[in-house]
Amino acid sequence: MKHFLLAVFTALVLFSCKKDTPRDTSYSQVYGSWKKVEEKYLITPNQDCQFLDLYDSQWTGTLTINGNEIDFGYLRYFTTNTGDISLASDVISFTYYVLNIQIRFDNKFYLLTKPFTFDKASGHFIVNSAQAREVISGDQITVSLDLRAQTRMLQKNVEYEISPAGVSDMPYTNLTFSENGTLNGSLLWKGDIACTLKGEWYVKSNALVLKYKADFASIDGEKRELVLPEAKGDSLIFTRIDSSIEYDESSINIPKSAIEKLKFKTAFVKE
């Protein structure tokens, strides 16, 4: 009986010591509030190659509205968390909805119905003198355009930043790290549902550990270990290097066989 009580007492002491072990929250580079601003693949090719750059290069071509040529500015291709596809600049945007395209121009919204050609595989968007109707007034404009994505050249053994085409490596949109180990922030659940998170953070074996609960996303709690981020001025950079990085070569247009090194960078800025 004496030995049993001694064993129980020893176990309780060990458990108590383990439970009360202080967390390491001395990694001051993460202190403060941060907002996610960018996610990129870091790709190093194993050969010289070229690819159709839908996302990072400016689309070029011609655009006329009511017979007047429009300087459409720096037009870029985007995909949203909900799967919407857009070509957008500060001057005009086109959002593709399969059966129609919504045009934002001159502070108004227009709907353009088929026929039109929007071919992601070839990076080509064509409209031949089609009528677009303003969604409130019903006023019409005549749109003609011929826009193309550019081909981008990559050199062997040079690292490039490439858009991940809607892929996200971490769901967090905001993170706040307190010196005492308290963690607050927000994340996107299932791509577009905003959730508030609360929990704790600490450093363990060169990893940043996040333990939290987040509304619908992780009611029962979640623990995630991240490679320690690097602080660069007002930026906090997370870089992941492992074989589990999600990569869809049909969206990026760079064959995985042509990639020597693949990393994923997520950048936050201080609020």
Q: What is the DSSP string of 187-215?
A: EEETTTEEEEEEEEEEEETTEEEEEEEET
Which residues in the chain land under pLDDT 70? 1-21, 81-83
Given a contact cutoff of 8 angstroms between Cβ atoms, the answer to whether 270 and 33 are in contact is yes
Task: Please list the residues that pair with 105 across neighbouring strands.
Answer: 92, 108
What does the DSSP 8-state code read for residue 7?
H
The span from the CA of 160 to the CA of 153, in Å, is: 11
- pLDDT, tens digit, 9 for 90 and up, residues 40-70: 999 999 999 999 999 999 999 999 999 999 9
SS3 139: coil
The model's pTM:
0.82
pLDDT at 16: 46
Q: DSSP assignment, residue 84? A: -
* Lookup result for tokens 């939290």: 212
What pLDDT score does 242 carry?
Answer: 83
Helix (H) or strand (E) holding 5: helix 2-19
My answer on whether omega of the bond before 45 falls inside 30° of 0, hence cis, is: no
Domains and CATH numbers, the chain: 23-49+157-270 (2.40.128), 58-148 (no CATH)
